[in-house]
Structure 1
Amino acid sequence: MTVNSPYADRLSRLPVERHDVQVRGADTAYWVYGPADAEVTLIAVHGFRGEHHGLESVLAFLPEARVIAPDLPGFGESAPVPGRTYDLDEYAAWLIDFAARVAPGAVVLGHSFGSIVTSAAVASGLATPKLILMNPIGAPALEGPKGVMTRLAVLYYALGAKLPERLGTALLRNGLIVRVMSIAMAKTSDPALRRFIHDQHDTYFSRFADRDVLRDAFVASVSHDVSQFASSIDVPTLLIAAQRDDITPIEVERELVKRFPDAELVEIAHVGHLIHYETPAEAAGAIRRFLRIPVSRAR
């Protein structure tokens, strides 16, 4: 990373270890943040095209918790199984197995596409005491005010899959397109924070294994949403939503929370789909209250 994180000081004080585990036939890389004797353990699942680094800013404000942050199969340092289709069923099955191997009974957190994966997994039987959804995808992506933009993204990923492999992969990793995506999502007017956000996307947004796994994940992300699983999730659930989110409008999130048997919604103003970069302290505060994590005086 070439741009310093505004949260670097907090992160530097956070213990972190890297590990690998075999899950469903491939190595999953994961990182463990925080004290080993923490009272609360979370599994944090990142969003589409991202990897575990994307959630570090939030973790920096939760130093009392133990947080396990894997890279999804096919992204970052986690390998996919060659030839396997990574649809939502596969990602949910992967998360259920990962949790059983690494941290059974942990609280589960998902951001963006991770909100779909975690919701599907919990609805399918993943045992967790509580579920946290940050920037949850609350409605079909092809509907609503941004449906046209989603259809353009569908064409983009379809073209990347159909072109000769070298050209298709180059298109999908094109830096200019990644920057346009980043500019569209960032809402902050702070130039230093905007530089950090763009650098994060430049650095980590193209670390996918191959165009096949990227296409599969994209199809899963636009073919499903949290509302499909909400009524089947019987654990206390926290939704952390942004009032300026272009992907799922806040009005949709206000309806989504009513679909859960036991859920609450925390709204964050003046931010869009990048809560984890722009307002991580506010997100961590909501998580802390939901999980009743006391603030450590040492921090």
Structure 2
Amino acid sequence: MGSRRGIGRGLGVVGTVAGAGAAGVGAAVGLRHVAVGRVRLRPDPDAGEPFGELRGRELTVKASDGLPLHVEVDGPDDADLTIVFSHGYTLNQDSWHYQRRDLPKSLRKVFWDQRSHGRSGRSDPLHATIEQTGDDLYKVLKATVRPKRPVILVGHSMGGMSIMALADRRPEVFRRQVVGVALVNTSCGDMAEMTLGLPLVLAKVVQPLAPRTLRGLGRRADLVERARGLGSDLAFVVTRKMAFADKHVSPTVVDFLEQMVRGTPIDVIAEFYPALMAHDKLGCLDVLGRVPTLVLAGGRDRLTPAGASRRIAEALPDVELVEVEEAGHVLPLEYPGVVTGGLRRLIERVSPGYEEERTA
């Protein structure tokens, strides 16, 4: 039990689980399994979906520390409303594929890759903080939306945290320019409650080890990246288990999400993890309370449990809370119609406010 071999095996399990949970899906490695093949052979209505191929007008926005942020804009520049989408931890702007595809073409939509993610520049590790991503969002807003033109901010997971950081650091932009907010699978703090789907007692053992495990993986990035590339089927299984709850989720969607995660270097995952665990923006909810808000939660979200979304909703005066019982952590891909429908309702809620302001 106390042998070196036993300790090594134990840390291997911790590394897989903690790394998987921290990534939002898992940096897993392994061999091919017959069971995965059977899942992938099921009828898949999304098999022909052009994931990762929807592109907009590209521009580069310089962050406050000079880092280049990759931004894309869809829709007419003279549109009455702009929606700015902020993606989650280890993902990129393509995670908004269905919303990009299905929301009205008359809307102006802005998508950006958070620092060290997607096609944005690689951040100094010291700047891998939620406060910095909030500042980055402010720079994206300034660069893509004219002053006093109405904006809805939409954030998934870490993207929602970036919106909270913006509210904390730049409260003046809410109501003056930001007229609505949508928070999807996110939390204002208490990330210590994240159980990764484990029994609570085991989760309390695993979670304190996660930062140390991830730092160790980050220091061996080359080795880990080679291993990640070899274990596509185990990565598929862990992705499906950790990110989704619907047993009928499209295998193509699972693959797409896993590819996004695999595209995020393990040392980036390690750098941002402490910032997520330390996230505490309960105090900014009074700023978010100035505007109509949509809060969406997955009833079986292993990473930001539905209770975190309920706490946000309870603190806001003008909020719609939508909880999908059979959903996991990636609502924009698992239940895209729920997310897109909620955004359409949010747009309808704030539309009269736009017209009143524009005619005042």
TM exceeding 0.5: yes
Report how far residue 22 of structure 1 moved: 2.4
- Change in Cα spacing, 1:89 to 1:15, as seen in structure 2 (3 Å) is closer
- Contact 1:21–1:29, Cα closer than 8 Å, also in 2: yes
2:303 alignment counterpart = 247
- Contact 1:169–1:211, Cα closer than 8 Å, also in 2: yes
Q: TM-score, normalised by structure 1?
A: 0.82
State which of 93, 96, 108 in structure 2 corresponds to 1:52. Answer: 93
- Hey, what's the Cα distance between the residues in 1 that align with 2:164 and 2:123? 23
1:112 alignment counterpart = 157
Is residue 194 of structure 1 aligned with residue 250 of structure 2? yes
Partner deviation per Cα, 1:106-152 (whole Å, 9 max, x = no partner): 21110011111111112221621211101122542222544616446
**Deviating more after overlay: 129-138 vs 83-92:** 83-92
- Contact 2:153–2:180, Cα closer than 8 Å, also in 1: yes
- Change in Cα spacing, 1:145 to 1:115, as seen in structure 2 (3 Å) is same
- Letter matched to residue 265 of structure 1: L
Q: Greater helix percent: which structure?
A: 2
2:120 alignment counterpart = 78
% identical aligned pairs? 21
2:83 alignment counterpart = 42
- Contact 2:164–2:188, Cα closer than 8 Å, also in 1: no
Helix, strand or coil at the partner of 1:292? helix
2:187 alignment counterpart = 137
- Change in Cα spacing, 1:83 to 1:263, as seen in structure 2 (3 Å) is same
1:161 alignment counterpart = 218
- Hey, what's the Cα distance between the residues in 2 that align with 1:172 and 1:228? 39
Question: Unaligned 5+ residue runs, structure 1?
Answer: 295-299
Is residue 181 of structure 1 aligned with residue 231 of structure 2? no
2:62 alignment counterpart = 22
Partner deviation per Cα, 1:83-106 (whole Å, 9 max, x = no partner): 642112211111112211122552
Helix, strand or coil at the partner of 2:303? coil
Report how far residue 250 of structure 1 moved: 2.5
CA radius of gyration, larger in: 2
Is residue 277 of structure 1 aligned with residue 317 of structure 2? no
- Letter matched to residue 119 of structure 1: M
- Contact 2:57–2:74, Cα closer than 8 Å, also in 1: yes
- Change in Cα spacing, 1:74 to 1:10, as seen in structure 2 (3 Å) is closer
- Hey, what's the Cα distance between the residues in 2 that align with 1:277 and 1:93? 27
State which of 129, 140, 144 in structure 2 corresponds to 1:102. Answer: 144
- Hey, what's the Cα distance between the residues in 2 that align with 1:92 and 1:57? 24
Helix, strand or coil at the partner of 1:28? strand
State which of 276, 286, 292 in structure 2 corresponds to 1:236. Answer: 292
Aligned residues: 287
Partner deviation per Cα, 1:221-247 (whole Å, 9 max, x = no partner): 222155353234333221111222222
- Hey, what's the Cα distance between the residues in 1 that align with 2:229 and 2:217? 9
- Change in Cα spacing, 1:27 to 1:145, as seen in structure 2 (3 Å) is closer
- Hey, what's the Cα distance between the residues in 1 that align with 2:165 and 2:229? 28
- Hey, what's the Cα distance between the residues in 1 that align with 2:208 and 2:100? 33
Q: TM-score, normalised by structure 2?
A: 0.69
2:343 alignment counterpart = 287
- Change in Cα spacing, 1:144 to 1:30, as seen in structure 2 (3 Å) is closer
State which of 151, 161, 170 in structure 2 corresponds to 1:125. Answer: 170
1:92 alignment counterpart = 134
Report how far residue 157 of structure 1 moved: 1.4
- Letter matched to residue 310 of structure 2: R
- Hey, what's the Cα distance between the residues in 2 that align with 1:157 and 1:174? 19
- Contact 2:160–2:186, Cα closer than 8 Å, also in 1: yes
- Letter matched to residue 216 of structure 2: L
- Hey, what's the Cα distance between the residues in 1 that align with 2:276 and 2:228? 16
Report how far residue 59 of structure 1 moved: 2.3
Helix, strand or coil at the partner of 1:119? helix
- Change in Cα spacing, 1:9 to 1:168, as seen in structure 2 (3 Å) is closer
Helix, strand or coil at the partner of 2:250? helix
- Hey, what's the Cα distance between the residues in 2 that align with 1:133 and 1:283? 10
- Hey, what's the Cα distance between the residues in 2 that align with 1:93 and 1:168? 31
1:297 alignment counterpart = none
- Hey, what's the Cα distance between the residues in 1 that align with 2:316 and 2:306? 16
- Contact 1:138–1:252, Cα closer than 8 Å, also in 2: yes
- Hey, what's the Cα distance between the residues in 2 that align with 1:11 and 1:171? 24
- Contact 1:21–1:28, Cα closer than 8 Å, also in 2: yes
**Deviating more after overlay: 134-143 vs 43-52:** 134-143
